[in-house]
């Protein structure tokens, strides 16, 4: 075994929100053998077992009375190439953005709109990451998953992952029962350029780009996200704190009478998606600060740790926002961030 059991490890630097917290037991997972050895040699390790990737979508309560497995499996390889496609396998510990950048550098298409999404490749399928009209479910062909109970490695096809909007089997039925060890994606050599989002079109217009490429879309997304989102290196945050709600057409029409400018995106004939950032900003929370916790002045969807925020303060502020949005718009916001 290359990496040994550690106890009472501080987690503050291991998640982007940066609250003070400790893990009772902790292992770095550098090889699949590490996983086998941990389960064989330490059957008594405290449960639950949590897999930590980039820590970009998680906030800890002060003490995690279980075992944290830090995903450090690395390696990217091309496993098949045809005239039209390239199949790439990527170990779970690789940074997602590095994978996107590498594929864009090769000129391959399929994940360029997903640039700068924080976190690891292993975390990406769990919530079916998506942005600017593209989702990882469109390119995933396999997910390798290690089952804690049996010690077996299972390979899930795309269909078996049960992908939905920001959701998958790994977030539901299989949550905390195993760990994703690698993903395999099929990328295209024939770009499928997606410019349906207004922010992307705006940047392309600003730069007078009339024939966008995989590279220019990637650059546009990087620029939008850098402008819009607070940098966790400056202030701790976990990206979007809430999901974007989907409401009925009737509900939306009713809201539109009071707020004719409300942005909306049809999902189907009976439902509409509305941006949470707009709701929170409209309710006056953008830039709000209470002690060391606040709502980003750049993007109302992001809560910020200005220094020594405690998880209880974060929960209290997010509950106040949820309650206010409920009262004003009759919409119940759901948290996207996991509080463990």
* Closest CA relative to residue 297, chosen from 287, 305, 306, 288: 287
Cα(57)–Cα(239) distance, integer angstroms: 7
Cα(12)–Cα(247) distance, integer angstroms: 36
Cβ proximity to ligand NAP: between 62 and 196 the closer is 196
Contact 16, 118 (CB under 8 A): yes
In 3-state terms, what secondary structure has residue 170?
coil
Cβ proximity to ligand NAP: between 4 and 265 the closer is 265
In angstroms, give the least distance from the CB of 218 to ligand NAP. 14
Active site residues per annotation: 166, 240, 336
**From the centroid of its chain, how far is CA 326?**
25
In angstroms, give the least distance from the CB of 101 to ligand NAP. 17
Cβ proximity to ligand NAP: between 146 and 241 the closer is 241
Cβ proximity to ligand NAP: between 228 and 282 the closer is 228
In angstroms, give the least distance from the CB of 186 to ligand NAP. 20
Cα(242)–Cα(296) distance, integer angstroms: 13
Q: Write out the two tokens for 222.
A: 């990087």
DSSP strand pairing (134-135 vs 130-131): antiparallel
If one counts every other C-beta atom within 10 angstroms of the C-beta of residue 283, the result is 17
Cβ proximity to ligand NAP: between 67 and 237 the closer is 237
Cβ proximity to ligand NAP: between 202 and 290 the closer is 202
CA distances from 101 to 86, 182, 210, 219 (A): 15, 18, 22, 10
In angstroms, give the least distance from the CB of 299 to ligand NAP. 7
Contact 26, 93 (CB under 8 A): no
If one counts every other C-beta atom within 10 angstroms of the C-beta of residue 205, the result is 10
The residues binding ligand NAP (CB under 6 A) are 117, 127, 129-132, 166, 196-197, 199, 228, 239-240, 244, 265, 273, 275, 277, 301
CA atoms within 13 A on the CB side of 292: 16
Cα(56)–Cα(307) distance, integer angstroms: 17
Helices (H) and strands (E) in the chain, counts: 7, 20
Q: Write out the two tokens for 228.
A: 């819009």
**DSSP-assigned beta bridge partners for residue 247:** 272
């Amino acid at each position: 075994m290359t990496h040994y059991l550690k106890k009472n490890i501080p987690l503050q630097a291991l998640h982007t929100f940066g609250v003070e917290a400790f893990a009772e037991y902790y292992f770095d997972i550098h090889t699949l053998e590490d996983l086998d050895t941990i389960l064989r040699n330490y059957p008594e390790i405290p449960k639950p077992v949590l897999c930590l990737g980039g820590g970009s979508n998680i906030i800890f309560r002060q003490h995690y009375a279980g075992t944290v497995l830090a995903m450090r499996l690395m390696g990217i390889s091309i496993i098949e190439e045809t005239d039209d496609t390239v199949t790439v396998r990527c170990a779970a510990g690789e940074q997602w953005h590095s994978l996107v950048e590498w594929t864009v550098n090769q000129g391959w298409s399929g994940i360029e709109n997903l640039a700068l999404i924080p976190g690891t490749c292993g975390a990406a399928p769990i919530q079916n990451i998506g942005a600017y009209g593209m989702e990882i479910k469109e390119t995933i062909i396999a997910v390798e998953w290690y089952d804690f109970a049996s010690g077996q490695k299972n390979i899930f096809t795309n269909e078996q992952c049960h992908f939905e909007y920001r959701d998958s089997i790994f977030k539901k039925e299989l949550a905390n029962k195993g760990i994703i060890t690698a993903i395999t994606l099929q990328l295209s050599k024939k770009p499928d350029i997606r410019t349906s989002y207004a922010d992307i079109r705006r940047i392309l217009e600003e730069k007078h780009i009339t024939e966008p490429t995989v590279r220019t879309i990637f650059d546009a997304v990087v620029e939008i996200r850098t402008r819009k989102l607070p940098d966790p290196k400056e202030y701790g945050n976990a990206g979007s704190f809430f999901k974007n709600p989907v409401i009925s057409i009737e509900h939306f029409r009713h809201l539109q009478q009071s707020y004719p400018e409300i942005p909306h995106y049809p999902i189907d004939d009976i439902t509409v998606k509305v941006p949470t950032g707009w709701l929170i900003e409209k309710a006056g929370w953008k830039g709000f600060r209470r002690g060391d916790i606040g709502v980003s002045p750049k993007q109302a969807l992001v809560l910020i740790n200005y220094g020594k925020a405690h998880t209880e303060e974060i929960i209290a502020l997010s509950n106040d926002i949820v309650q206010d949005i409920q009262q004003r718009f009759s919409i119940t916001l759901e948290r996207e961030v996991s509080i463990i």
